[in-house]
């Protein structure tokens, strides 16, 4: 691995690394925030999954999360949203290809050669983190928009892997909205039954673990009605008896101003669950 950035922040260090990923088949970048407590003891880790068009930079530079992670003694790990580089397939538009990995394992050519973000985030990335940093095996996962979809789906698909999960403005039912239909058609093919394995609302019905979900959604979000549809998540959780705290926030939009306003509460939620 190669460290390509280092910045002192709230008594800890905000680093960016470039690593060779066997899962993705390319070099990829990941932001790692080490709180001051990491000097003395292993710390729990919260994995942050960003949304469409983002890289590791969006969260580490815009969310203001480091001060809260330093307070709670949390390591923050922010991977890229998709593989990048020579030979990686791409498409026109912002919602498919580079920057739009959707945190799934693609099955269709040409995407299946590199677009395996689920296996990378769930298996390879934590193995790398826990081998190279003072990280405990207590893991939380969070994300925004496409990354909120990823956080919910990865937690639901991997019971016991994470102790906490939260999301901002998640795509809760990608099989029922344009963003998801476009991505899933390309990455997974035309079998809609296969799509359900990557849809949080579908997964909740048969979830083997009832990990509480914390979700914040801005009511001034321009994608609320057509792409995000949080009411579908509420209905799925009510039908399955799955614990959900869905907080609808007046006036807030889809931006990092929204995330920065509530990231402290989300990291406090993770800290409490990860200590438990």
The catalytic residue positions are 145, 221, 254
CA pair distance 68, 59, nearest whole angstrom? 13
Nearest to 144 by CA among 56, 257, 270, 259: 259
> Sign of the CA dihedral 236, 54, 42, 18?
positive
Which runs of consecutive H residues, i.e. helices, occur in the chain? Answer: 56-62, 66-72, 117-119, 125-132, 146-157, 178-188, 192-195, 200-204, 230-240, 256-275
């Amino acid at each position: 691995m190669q460290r390509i950035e280092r910045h002192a922040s709230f008594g800890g260090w905000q680093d960016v690394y470039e690593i060779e990923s066997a899962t993705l088949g390319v070099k990829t970048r990941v932001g790692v925030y080490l709180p001051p407590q990491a000097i003395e003891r292993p710390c729990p880790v919260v994995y942050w999954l960003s949304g469409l068009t983002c890289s590791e930079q969006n969260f580490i530079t815009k969310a203001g999360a480091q001060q809260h992670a330093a307070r709670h003694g949390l390591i923050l790990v922010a991977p890229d949203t998709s593989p990048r580089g020579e030979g990686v397939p791409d498409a026109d538009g912002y919602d498919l290809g580079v920057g739009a990995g959707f945190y799934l394992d693609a099955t269709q050519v040409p995407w299946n050669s590199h677009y395996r973000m689920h296996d990378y985030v769930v298996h390879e990335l934590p193995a790398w983190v826990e081998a190279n940093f003072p990280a405990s095996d207590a893991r939380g996962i969070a994300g925004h928009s496409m990354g909120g979809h990823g956080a919910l789906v990865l937690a639901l698909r991997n019971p016991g892997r994470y102790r906490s999960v939260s999301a901002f403005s998640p795509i809760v039912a990608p099989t029922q909205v344009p963003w998801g239909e476009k991505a899933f058609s390309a990455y997974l093919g035309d079998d809609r039954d296969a799509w359900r394995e990557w849809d949080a609302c579908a997964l909740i019905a048969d979830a083997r673990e009832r990990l509480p979900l914390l979700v914040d959604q801005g009511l001034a979000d321009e994608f609320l009605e057509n792409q995000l549809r949080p009411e579908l998540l509420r209905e799925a959780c009510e039908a399955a008896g799955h614990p959900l705290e869905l907080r609808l926030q007046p006036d807030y939009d889809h931006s990092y101003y929204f995330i920065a306003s509530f990231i402290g509460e989300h990291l406090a939620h993770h800290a409490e669950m990860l200590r438990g």
